Amino acid sequence: MLVLLGVLFWMQKKHISFTKRVFTALGFGIVYGVILQLIYGAGSDVLAKSVDWFNLVGNGYVGLLQMIVIPLIMVSIISAIMNLKGGKNLGKMAGLIIAVLLITTAIAATVSIVTSLSFDLKSIEIQAGDREQAQVTKVQERLADVEDKTIPQQILEFIPTNPFEDMTGARRSSTLAVVIFSAFIGVAVLGVDRKKPEQAATFRNMINAVYAVVMRIVTMVLRLTPYGILALITKVVSTTNPDEILKLIKFVLASYVALIVMFIIHLILLSIFRYNPVTYVKKVIPTLVFAFTSRSSAATIPLNVETQTKKLGVSEGIANLSASFGATIGQNGCAGIYPAMLAVMIAPTAGIDPTSWDFILTLILVVVISSFGVAGVGGGATFASLIVLSTMNLPVALVGLLISVEPLIDMGRTALNVNDSMTAGLITSRVMKDNDPKVYNDMNTELDSAAHA
């Protein structure tokens, strides 16, 4: 691992592009992970201890990203709003982003339903071992946190009653609560501007100074992306048990078919809004690779924002709102495809015909509504599934039975979530006429993390 990290460091010193270093890290991690598994086996003590050391790099990098998520969201949204010309832009901007996220979630649920029926997925085909049974028990315990709350009560959780607590990430809706709190501060600055311009100017200068410092920290952390990807993908490949995946291969294949179809739909939407999809894919791949390996939409926010502003020509206000909202609202993979697929699989056991229009339309509506406030971290899909299944009065045990393939599928779901937030940012920037086509079409643009390498 140290040798491979050294090779990546040498590539950085030679000013090899950020994208090439990311793909090199991904390749190294896959090959090294396979070698470790072949030599030691997925459950060996040697591998467990080695992965513990690998986590210093992989989980350490994710931790650094999580460290800067809340400061970045706060200063970016406050800065973006207080620099807006008129409050109407804010409402339209936020409304468009949320609309795109929710509409694509409804489409994702539809794609998932069609895929599940096409693959003829059934929950009764999945066998439970000791590990799965233990997970079922945990899922039943978590269900108690969800089923007693109505949808209006869940929506009330978005209000930042204690913003300082939300800055610690104490709740599943903390990120969205911080976004709302930051938006209030930004709007308040616009109000102070009209009555006490001197105080507003002082606050604006202070925020601009903090913003410059935070963005510098973001740049410093993003330089470490290839190293983090190497360690993360090595861990996933080396510790995944192929036998357990083969038992559920039909479900895994159906999940990735739905994810790929939804990704193609994103590209079609971008084409409709006159964006070149090939250019888009080339520019966002490093960000999607990190989302894939880290399994955290929230941790990907800094890289997401940087990609939208530096590579895709999206304004900072729209980029920050879409990245932040996309980590907690309308996640196409975790809150759209996964819960809908489980519901279709479980419905026959409850005597419900999954092909009936009543069931399908109700499921899509429930998926869209419950997609608000899903945490953009590992386990968010489980929580979303519990909400959907309990609302549909379906048993939740299947959520625990899929534990063995959960990480593998979660990687693809997270990449789709992040892609959806970038799609929402681009579409909103086009409608708002706030996109820089020169930046989008310039294939030489590179993230600050690589430019300063």
C-alpha to C-alpha distances, 441 to 16, 283, 419, 437, nearest whole angstrom: 21, 10, 18, 6
Provide the pLDDT for residue 109. 95
pLDDT digits (tens, 9 = 90+) for 368-398: 988 876 655 556 677 788 888 888 888 877 6
What is the structure's pLDDT at 450?
42
Residues facing residue 329 across a β-bridge: 372
- Is the model's pLDDT at 148 over the cut of 70? no
Q: Which of 8-17, 136-145, 211-220, 437-446 has the lowest mean pLDDT?
A: 136-145
Place of tokens 């993003």: 222
Q: How confident is the model at residue 79 (pLDDT cuts 50, 70, 90)?
A: confident
Question: Residue 288: pLDDT band by 50, 70, 90 thresholds?
Answer: very high
Place 141 in a pLDDT band, splitting at 50, 70 and 90. Answer: low
User: Domain residues of the chain, as ranges?
Assistant: 2-451
Provide mean pLDDT across the span 70-91. Answer: 76
Contacts 24+ apart (CB under 8 A), 147-152: 147/386, 147/390, 151/369, 151/370, 151/391
Query: How many CA atoms lie less than 13 Å away from 388 in the CB half-sphere?
Result: 36
Mean pLDDT of 5-33: 92
Interval 84-106 mean pLDDT: 83
Contact in structure between 326 and 420 (CB atoms under 8 Å): yes
More confident residue, 395 or 361: 361
pTM, 2 dp: 0.83
Q: b/e for 251-268, b at 16 or more Cβ within 10 A?
A: bbebbbbbbebbbebbbe
The pLDDT assigned to 377 comes to 53
pLDDT bracket for residue 453 (50, 70, 90) = very low
Average pLDDT, the chain: 85
Alpha-carbon span 280 to 177, nearest angstrom: 30
Residue 106 is encoded by which pair of tokens? 């409804």
Q: Give the whole-angstrom CA distance, residue 398 versus residue 127.
A: 10
- Please give the single-letter amino acid code of residue 28: F
pLDDT in tens, 186-204: 889 888 988 898 998 999 9
Whether 24 shows a pLDDT value over 90: the answer reads yes
Q: How confident is the model at residue 145 (pLDDT cuts 50, 70, 90)?
A: low
Better-predicted residue by pLDDT, 398 or 92? 92
Amino acid letter, 207:
I
Q: Does position 156 have pLDDT exceeding 90, yes or no?
A: no
Closest by alpha carbon to 104, among 439, 417, 325? 417
Q: Does the structure show a pLDDT above 90 at 11? A: yes
407 pLDDT band (50/70/90 cuts)? confident
pLDDT of residue 118: 93
Q: Which of 303-307, 343-347, 384-388, 397-401 has the lowest mean pLDDT?
A: 397-401
Residue type for position 157: E
Does residue 424 surpass a pLDDT of 60? yes
Mean predicted confidence (pLDDT) in 81-91: 68
Do the beta carbons of residue 22 and residue 229 sit within 8 Å?
Answer: yes
Topology of 2-451 in CATH?
Proton glutamate symport protein (1.10.3860)
Rounded Cα–Cα distance for residues 71 and 216 (Å): 12
Is the pLDDT reported for residue 264 higher than 90? Answer: yes
What residues does 435 pair with on adjacent strands?
314
Report whether pLDDT(253) > 90. yes
- What lies within 8 Å, CB to CB, of 29 at 6+ separation is 229, 230, 231, 232, 233, 234, 237, 293
**Reported confidence tier of residue 80, pLDDT bands at 50, 70, 90:** confident
What's the confidence (pLDDT) of residue 210? 92
Instruction: Decide if pLDDT at 423 tops 80.
Output: yes
Yes or no: say if 266 and 111 are a contact pair by the CB < 8 Å rule: no
Q: Are 386 and 398 in contact (CB under 8 A)?
A: no
Residue 166 has what pLDDT?
85
| pLDDT band, very low/low/confident/very high, at 147 (cuts 50, 70, 90) | low
Q: Is the pLDDT of residue 445 over 80?
A: no
Q: Binning pLDDT at 50, 70 and 90, where does residue 124 land?
A: low
